[in-house]
Structure 1
């Protein structure tokens, strides 16, 4: 065999999959569902509030870091532009329409306003905004610093609100840019963090996590009084949070630093090898978009409140959240809900005839799916004359 075919084969060979990133996505989506599941219990339980604050202090920043790590900053090509439509805009329109109908039937709410995303749908729009902003930030020197300026500065603007989830997207923008920078700097590859850690690094991560939990427990009454959880949402101005002092931006900056450190400790403690959660971590968008429909009737019925035995409800909901994630990322659920989570209406594109059918190989967060190859018919046996 000549050297040229071997070089071409090496150039086209797929990169080895790193199970860590799928494990990270799965762990992040579990925290998302847990946070939404226990939110009502925080009214009656300090333990639930501490758990809730611990989750919200870093879970969406960690998700944004992972998403940014797999995002390219160059000008989008035609295929990437189509994926923004099919993977972000269309699912948003479909899910927002469903939510409007559900809220009308259950609550009698008669409001059709797609500019105000319902519940979890804000992150879909945030991913679209990230992709729009990143190519311009990449042209500048110190893009991470500029993203911090944007995040801290937007809190001083009362007119930037939840319309198209702009306030939240700009608030967590530094985490997305940080993920992109980590890939650009190749820090993960240099330090081999995605493959192994020493016992010392893991021990430091555990100590830091425990220290933060201790702070949350020690000052839980203070956190409840100042509504600390609202600072972790990144969806309101500082005046809307009740703190219009000039140094309020320093508070957000401190929380951003805290979230980065907590995310780093969280990533360090995740398994590096392929586990039972690795495959499920490729389909986090199904969980993210569908789990709210599971929790919504429980929330409206008051089941999630758990006023009599809040600690028991807390443990039950944490376990139930894990079950929800496993079920919603399973094969049968994906097959059933693929038309609304991953719609592929080829006809809307001008060049629809050469559009690729079937499920996406990559979701909006950058998760590379393992899609089975298309079936091919074996070649016909040669005829003997």
Structure 2
């Protein structure tokens, strides 16, 4: 979510990133209504089939130019500072206004949407740890880790450990993705087939919303929390992976390739991501969702989410919120580098804070 390269095909991934942040805003706006509205529940289930796997995938794609060296270290520091700032802000607002039930006010338990920052930090470290493995082996290892994570003997939300491992395969796949590998989507027949497939999944959501436990799509719950203590529960995770891959591939048919205003908005999705939670939680605390009972109301919520996404992605918001959203961490990098220089090291060891080739 930090930094954009000038690689060929970036426009497609920026367009995708903006469409996905619209989906993130929409699902969070629909969540308070899913128990009261079958329409909201079906839209919610359909979007959850693909939006988080794809968001992690596109984040992995944009991580590639800045995973290693000085840029990689600075990105890790910035993610850490962002997390500390917004975990503090959301926790303060929650204690004063939002009062969301079941929230642990701790830096070790990310506040709702902030799990993504904690997991993004860990995905980068895990990928660095696997850098000597071939891409195919990295994917296999990440799938194994994601499957085994469900057997953890404690609550999966702590440190976002469950989501970190469950969505790791998508980050690895995104990191090794190139424009050439998805260029076949330019073919009108492929795009039509993909869009048709996505619409079929939306129709299927009418059935799956009643039979599919959404906790499987969240990735934040262990198998025990999902009510499956069987030794073979990991097979269900494999099935969910397949569903998410199909749904994600189908949604790509909606994404335009051309650079334009959508791409420019897509370069500022971090602002939407970190700020939209205040709007959703504020609306819930004000009781606005209690007045939404009809299909027309659900549609209004979706349209409003789209409009607010565009608003938060405008340059004016970036100028106003830039110091908070993308804090300068050069001072922290310099300080950490000075400490690293004075750490004892073995003969031939290099400064770990210096860029590597």
- TM above 0.5, yes or no, is yes
Structure 2 counterpart of 1:296, from 281, 285, 290:
281
Equivalence for 1:133? 126
Q: How many residue pairs end up in the alignment?
A: 329
Distance between the aligned counterparts of 2:118 and 2:242, measured in 1? 24
Separation of aligned partners in 1, 2:143 and 2:243? 14
Q: Do the aligned partners of 1:20 and 1:272 also contact (CA within 8 Å) in 2? A: yes
Aligned 8 A contact 1:160 1:166 in 2? no
Within 1, Cα distance between the matches of 2:148 and 2:65? 23
Identify if the C-alpha distance between structure 1 residues 20 and 154 changes in structure 2 by more than 3 Å, giving closer, same or farther: same
- The one of 42, 54, 57 aligned to 2:34: 42
Match of residue 331, structure 1, among 306, 315, 323: 315
Q: Is the 8 A contact 2:57 2:173 kept in 1?
A: yes
> Alpha-carbon deviation of 1:107?
5.3
Tell me if structure 2 keeps the 8 A contact 1:19–1:274: yes
Q: Following superposition of structure 1 onto structure 2, how do residues 93-242 of structure 1 map, counting pairs within 5 Å?
A: 93-106=84-97, 112-141=105-134, 142-159=137-154, 161-183=156-178, 188-189=179-180, 192-193=183-184, 197-223=186-212, 228-242=213-227
Name the residue aligned to 1:278. Answer: 263
Distance apart, 1:131 and its partner CA: 0.3
Structure 1: gaps of 5 or more residues: 1-13, 353-385
Deviations 1:270-289, CA, capped at 9 Å, x for gaps: 11112331100001100000
Structure 1 length-normalised TM? 0.79
Q: Whose Rg is larger?
A: 1
Q: Secondary structure at the match of 2:45?
A: helix
Q: Distance in 2 between matches of 1:156 and 1:234?
A: 12
> Considering only aligned residues, what root-mean-square deviation do their CA atoms show, in Å?
2.5
Distance 1:68 1:15, change over 3 A: closer
Q: 2:71 matched to which residue of 1?
A: 79
Distance 1:221 1:166 in 2: 28
Distance 1:271 1:107 in 2: 37
Q: Which has a greater percent of helix? A: 2
Q: Deviations over 1:355-385 (max 9, x none)?
A: xxxxxxxxxxxxxxxxxxxxxxxxxxxxxxx
Instruction: Indicate the SS of the match to 1:138.
Output: coil
Alpha-carbon shift at residue 190 of structure 1 (Å): 5.3
In structure 2, distance between residues paired with 1:34 and 1:182: 27
Q: Which one of the candidate residues 69, 72, 90 is aligned to 2:81?
A: 90
1:159 Cα deviation (Å)? 2.4
Q: 1:301 to 1:207 in 2, by over 3 A?
A: same
1:351 to partner: Cα distance: 6.4
Distance 1:297 1:191 in 2: 39
d(CA) in 1 for partners of 2:73 and 2:334?
Answer: 13
CA distance in 2, matches of 1:64, 1:351: 31
The change in CA–CA distance for 1:121 and 1:75 in structure 2 (over 3 A counts) is closer
Partner of 2:21: 29
In structure 1, distance between residues paired with 2:9 and 2:139:
27
| TM-score between the two structures when normalised by the length of structure 2 | 0.85
Aligned equivalent of 1:315, options 299, 313, 335: 299
